[in-house]
Amino acid sequence: MSSLLSVRDLNLTFPVMPRGAWPWTRPRMLRAVSDMSFDVEPGETLGIVGESGSGKSTLARAIIGTVPAASGQILWQGQDLAQLSPRARRAHRRDVQMVFQDPLAALDPRMTVGQIIAEPLVTHRRDMSSADRRAKVGEMMERVGLLPNLQNRYPHEFSGGQCQRIGIARALVLEPKLLICDEPVSALDVSVQAQVVNLLKELSRDLGLAMLFIAHDLSVVKHVSDRTLVMYLGRKMEEAEARTIVRAPRHPYTQALIASVPVPDPAREAARADRAPLSGELPSPLDPPSGCVFRTRCPKARPDCAKGLPPVERLGQDHLVACPYHAPMGAEAAAEPAE
């Protein structure tokens, strides 16, 4: 079975002019995503994790088609997005939908909930009658846990969690094949986060829906994803099954992310041996460190980490690590690079 989505050696760059520069000044290139490759199978959920500024949302926009690739390929069902005709690109927009981070800001305050959810149908399903659209909207509202008789209300009359459910209903009304969730629960209360995550898991299972779930919190991603990809400064640090990432992380950055997740029991939290938060600040993508981009904050960094990009090592069938000095969490790094 071919992959639904394949990303191959993708690079996303943006020209940035220095402040106060002359018009003829050559812009600096900001590398938002570098040499990124992964696959998403039909019905699979891939979690993408990393700090703010890691390039997660830029990657999502490139898959949607709003950010052009500097090099590399984004293949949708085997077809290169850059080579699609306008007709095929329109079909791609129906098949790939997005749920945004801020639920209220993503909804037009001048439109009713019914109009917001029906808008994709008006654009892409012009043959559908008004009665059929209203029935479809009611069906989607029920599926995401909202009462259909609330179609004539406006977004400001709903809570944050309800607004996010409206956004999910709008994204799913066209029955897409891939749903991209860009930090969909980071703006919600903790109790509401669990409800929305469980809803997305249920919808993915019932509809056979593939998902890209983007977040900076591994404790959220592990509950919804089948595989997890860890990004730092636009590069892949580690990729494996979600359970493997949580239970046996090998890259120092992944280990630091897991160590930063608090344990709700104060006694257990105080006794944790893995508590080693990241030090320093995320480097600027305009001037990334030489060699391994994580070396300036890595507790296992060595002089040769600055000499070149670390190779991506395959530890198992589906476990990739971009660090020659990887070691199990809590263990000391090997004296020599792993073979």
Residues in a beta bridge with 230: 49, 238
Q: What is the pLDDT of residue 190?
A: 83
Superfamily holding 5-15+29-108+178-321: P-loop containing nucleotide triphosphate hydrolases (3.40.50.300)
Measure CA 261 to chain center: 18
The confidence score (pLDDT) of residue 270 equals 63
Rounded to an integer, what is the distance from CA 332 to the centroid of its chain? 31
SS3 content of the chain, % helix, strand, coil (to 5): 35, 20, 45
* Distance of alpha carbon 289 from alpha carbon 306, whole angstroms: 8
H/E stretch holding 169 reads helix 160-172
Q: What is the pLDDT of residue 334?
A: 37
Mean pLDDT by 10 residues, the chain (339 residues): 89 90 88 95 95 93 92 94 88 92 91 96 91 95 94 94 95 95 89 91 94 90 93 96 91 89 68 66 90 92 91 89 85 41
Residue ranges per structural domain of the chain: 5-15+29-108+178-321
Half-sphere exposure of 313 (CA within 13 A, CB side): 14
pLDDT value of residue 272: 62
> CA 149, CA 147: separation in Å to the nearest integer?
5
Can you give the pLDDT at residue 122?
A: 94
| Amino acid of residue 12 | L
Helix (H) or strand (E) holding 260, with range, is none
Report the pLDDT value the prediction gives residue 330, as an integer from 0 to 100: 61
